[in-house]
Structure 1
Amino acid sequence: MGVLVGCTALVLSVTTGAAAGPESRRDLAREVLGAGDGWGSYGTGTTGGAAAEAGHVHTVRTWAELRSALADGSGAPRIVRVVGTIDAVAQGCDAFAVPGYDFDAYLAKYDPGTWGLDTDLSGEPDDSPEGLRRASAARQDRAIKVNVPANTTLIGVGRDAAIHGASLQIKDVDNVIVRNITFESPVDCFPQWDPTDGDKGNWNSEYDTAVVHNSTHVWIDHNTFTDGDSPDSAAPTHFGMLYQRHDGELDIVRGADHITASWNVFADHDKTILVGNSDGAAATASDRGHLKVTFHHNLFRNLVERAPRVRFGQVDSYNNHFVAGTSYSYSFGIGKESQLVAEHNAFTLPAGVSPAKILKKWSEAPLTAGGNVVNGRATDLTAVHNAALPAETLRSGAGWTPVLRTGVDPARAVPGIVACRAGAGRLR
């Protein structure tokens, strides 16, 4: 009871873009991102489907209803209200397998002891185990991906709205809001073996839980992203490598811009968030000057890496709480031409894990990292990284100063505030 009272006090002391007042008087589905609330508020701001007429307000309880509501083709602003749990793969992985696909045959054919590690599988014919895997994967791809159109609000109703096994595609659109939903990451039923990936080969999976691709003005708020009942820690190994069944929880790529991700929980995952997905020429052309993203008041719990890994973008990460687990690798990945500002965040690291691991240098790029605390103590993240890893020195000074913040909480207060407010079912 004491915890509840404490959380209630914190909730009353923290303001967001939504207007204050009794919940009964507010239509959460018509709320918009507040002025100055991160990069998503830039320019025209993010209003989603707030202007939807009654005929474009849908309440959905099944995967078929959700897909239909998002694909009605009207082009008008819409609100899609999710009730209960929607499962995109209720029929299980076997339903996607084409006739003749056999995983044991796949393992036998491509065992490195016989196939080797020098030749990838791209040239395998359609009737080969790899060809049958490709065809099965294509079936799953068609079944679990859903496109979110422009001017849409997708929102969970109440405390238990959830979508399991789907891949949300926010692609080539403007003005989208996603709030108050627990997303259980899609499981790739047919990961591909790539003998040439690294010196031992690797399993690669598809399907981000949500991907923002060449889209603008997106607000991702009060959601929970988790692997649910299928964590990577429970996955088997084949050919001596983890049989990887998940991709990212939230990827922001290909020229996407003006995104705010606030009050979410990202939990129990490996490769969590990419901002910019490649160093290549095509990505450089599309991403340079874009990928402006704000992360604030999110909980990153028991993750391995990428919270986020950043390329190109001006990313503002403030007032987030990072709680590391036993498999922790790093939080912020400093990638090509990135300009990360990471300020006033809190990190909780287990005994024996050095704060030097919080930052990881992938490319030469500057960052600003001030006002952060690690296990309650003020810590200069750049300094501790450079002291421990002098061969991977990071440069201070991202070259820009965030101004789109509605307010900054003291870093030491962040764990309590985020614990009380972040995640699905806590939208007030």
Structure 2
Amino acid sequence: MTPVPVLRAALRLTAVGALLAGASASAFASAEIRDISRETLAPDDGWAAAQGGTSGGAAADEDHVFTVRNRTELARALDGGSDTPKIIKVAGVVDANTDDEGRRLDCADYVTGGYRLKEYLAAYDPRTWGSVKPAGPQEEARKASAARQAERVELPVGSNTTIVGLGSGAVLKGASLQIENADNVIVRNLELRDAFDCFPVWQPNTGGLGDWKAAYDTIWLRGASHVWIDHVTASDKGHPDEDEPTYFGRNYLRHDGLLDITQGSDLVTVSWSRFADHDKAMLIGNSDSAAGDRGRLRVTLHHNEFHGVVQRAPRVRYGQVHLYNNRYVVPADAHDYRYSIGVSTESAVYAENNSFTTPGHVEAADLVKSWNGTALHQSGTSFNGFPVDLLAIHNAYNSGSERDLTGDVNWKPSLHGPVDSAARADRDVARGAGAGRVR
């Protein structure tokens, strides 16, 4: 085995040689190998830095540092969501829809109990079934089939865990990372792609429209605390919902949230990540009636990109959310866009220096929507390169249809790095957000 000092010296000589050969200075920097798996959250980096901070699996011994290349190895490393300090390095593409031998599974492999989509649609057509919830043989078969898929794709993440992608090509495909009742978790430098539900459920309502509901959030926090999500890319890549058919007049949705923070989760920082080409991106607080969420759901979102996101970027109930230096891009062909910032029951969103670029039909009045919300602090917002006051625009254009918002959210963030101008943040996030771009 080559001694570590000799190895480092060889790396430096390699970099010097690259420079002498005319390579850029970045070749020298890249030669010094950086291990981000034991890096911890900076002491001022948002809400996850409060009350002791977030270190993930930094304390793991060498027996609990794993490099995983398939679902079987990943599941073994996660250890059923144990609290043992652990570092899990994802190498290459790991597909959750595979069996223990690595064979690819598709939706047909999960079907059981006689489930057939054609028969399901015939059984629960609202014109004949009505507005009650589906029940009966086809719904039971759908549930059983869905349970078989859930066994493969739902992966529990326990306390004191770091999951990090190696290099620029680490992908976790088809999985739903479940961070439930866990404390001290880091997920970094990883592309999370296509948490695809084979068996969405039809949810009718008394209004006659109803909707399709998918089961899997790409990352789902429930009762979790001290969580840092950094340089993650999350999308529906591979199976966009816009390509799905329409049944009962509604899009047959296959995906739920990209990152949902619910059920009393607290002290979360989401930084330098990219959320793309998706309907409902991020829900913070999942119920108006969850009064137990008061004083929790404290989340910082900074230097993230929301590209082609239809809604929930984020939608907030109860939480104190610091939203600064984020980049929003609504493509010109995004005709289904609804809103970006959702202000809901007892939420307190403090939005600073965020940039919105909407080359199509979207107006500044479309960016904020309120459901029972009362307050939104906003400052330094840029809309297509021009300063705007989101609060004043919301109140002017939505008066009568929504409650007017005040600017007083009764708190001011203290845990954060420098807050740049919206224009600078827009440029920096475009270059630096997402997996494979840790600097």
Match of 2:117 in 1: 103
Uncovered stretches (5+) of structure 2, i.e. residues with no partner? 1-25, 98-103
Return the alpha-carbon distance in structure 1 between the equivalents of residues 207 and 287 of structure 2.
17
Match of 2:233 in 1: 224
> Residues 206, 73 of structure 1: CA spacing in aligned structure 2 closer, same or farther, 3 A cutoff?
closer
Return the alpha-carbon distance in structure 2 between the equivalents of residues 145 and 33 of structure 1.
26
Match of 1:40 in 2: 48
Q: Which moved more, 1:45-54 or 1:258-267?
A: 45-54
Residue 154 of structure 1 pairs with residue 160 of structure 2: no
Q: CA deviation at 1:77?
A: 1.2
Whether the 8 Å CA contact 2:82–2:158 is kept in 1: the answer is no
Q: CA deviation at 1:197?
A: 6.2
Residue 58 of structure 1 pairs with residue 66 of structure 2: yes
Q: CA deviation at 1:174?
A: 0.7
Whether the 8 Å CA contact 2:275–2:306 is kept in 1: the answer is yes
Match of 1:132 among 135, 141, 160: 141
Return the alpha-carbon distance in structure 2 between the equivalents of residues 199 and 142 of structure 1.
33
Whether the 8 Å CA contact 2:82–2:159 is kept in 1: the answer is no
Q: CA deviation at 1:343?
A: 0.7
Paired letter, 2:132: T
Match of 1:419 among 420, 430, 433: 430
Find the residue that maps to 2:198 and give its secondary structure: coil
Spell out, residue by residue over 1:330-359, the C-alpha distance to the aligned partner (whole angstroms, 9 max, x if none): 011001100000111000012331101111
Return the alpha-carbon distance in structure 1 between the equivalents of residues 71 and 217 of structure 2.
17
Return the alpha-carbon distance in structure 2 between the equivalents of residues 135 and 76 of structure 1.
32
Return the alpha-carbon distance in structure 2 between the equivalents of residues 119 and 367 of structure 1.
37
Return the alpha-carbon distance in structure 1 between the equivalents of residues 339 and 80 of structure 2.
42
Q: CA deviation at 1:426?
A: 0.6
Paired letter, 1:196: N
Residue 115 of structure 1 pairs with residue 146 of structure 2: no
Find the residue that maps to 1:395 and give its secondary structure: coil
Residue 79 of structure 1 pairs with residue 87 of structure 2: yes
Match of 1:18 in 2: none
Match of 2:76 among 49, 65, 68: 68
Match of 2:107 in 1: 93
Residue 384 of structure 1 pairs with residue 393 of structure 2: yes
Q: After TM superposition, where is structure 1 displaced by more than 4 Å over at least 4 residues in a row?
A: none
Higher relative contact order (CA 8 A, sep 6+): 1
Return the alpha-carbon distance in structure 1 between the equivalents of residues 113 and 396 of structure 2.
57
Match of 1:338 in 2: 347
Q: CA deviation at 1:110?
A: 1.5
Match of 1:309 in 2: 315
Match of 2:101 in 1: none
> Residues 201, 47 of structure 1: CA spacing in aligned structure 2 closer, same or farther, 3 A cutoff?
same
Find the residue that maps to 1:71 and give its secondary structure: helix
Find the residue that maps to 2:337 and give its secondary structure: coil
Paired letter, 2:432: R
Q: CA deviation at 1:134?
A: 1.0
> Residues 139, 197 of structure 1: CA spacing in aligned structure 2 closer, same or farther, 3 A cutoff?
farther
- 1:18-417 matches, cutoff 5 A: 24-71=32-79, 75-89=83-97, 90-116=104-130, 118-121=131-134, 124-125=135-136, 128-196=137-205, 198-280=207-289, 283-285=290-292, 287-325=293-331, 326=334, 327-391=336-400, 392=402, 393-417=404-428
Find the residue that maps to 1:413 and give its secondary structure: helix
> Residues 28, 48 of structure 1: CA spacing in aligned structure 2 closer, same or farther, 3 A cutoff?
same
Number of aligned residue pairs: 401
Q: Which moved more, 1:34-43 or 1:136-145?
A: 136-145
Spell out, residue by residue over 1:184-209, the C-alpha distance to the aligned partner (whole angstroms, 9 max, x if none): 13111111112226422221111100
Paired letter, 1:40: A
Return the alpha-carbon distance in structure 2 between the equivalents of residues 415 and 76 of structure 1.
39
Return the alpha-carbon distance in structure 2 between the equivalents of residues 251 and 185 of structure 1.
15
Whether the 8 Å CA contact 1:185–1:249 is kept in 2: the answer is no
Find the residue that maps to 1:187 and give its secondary structure: coil
Uncovered stretches (5+) of structure 1, i.e. residues with no partner? 1-11, 13-20
Return the alpha-carbon distance in structure 2 between the equivalents of residues 198 and 57 of structure 1.
52
Q: CA deviation at 1:364?
A: 3.0
Return the alpha-carbon distance in structure 2 between the equivalents of residues 223 and 23 of structure 1.
24
Return the alpha-carbon distance in structure 2 between the equivalents of residues 93 and 72 of structure 1.
24
Paired letter, 1:284: A
Q: CA deviation at 1:25?
A: 4.8
Find the residue that maps to 1:196 and give its secondary structure: coil
Return the alpha-carbon distance in structure 2 between the equivalents of residues 304 and 421 of structure 1.
22
Q: CA deviation at 1:73?
A: 7.3
Spell out, residue by residue over 1:163-192, the C-alpha distance to the aligned partner (whole angstroms, 9 max, x if none): 011100111011000001100131111111
Spell out, residue by residue over 1:372-426, the C-alpha distance to the aligned partner (whole angstroms, 9 max, x if none): 1111111100111111111222111111111111111111111210011100011
Q: CA deviation at 1:72?
A: 6.5
Match of 1:6 in 2: none
Whether the 8 Å CA contact 1:185–1:208 is kept in 2: the answer is no
> Residues 49, 357 of structure 1: CA spacing in aligned structure 2 closer, same or farther, 3 A cutoff?
same
Whether the 8 Å CA contact 2:282–2:314 is kept in 1: the answer is yes
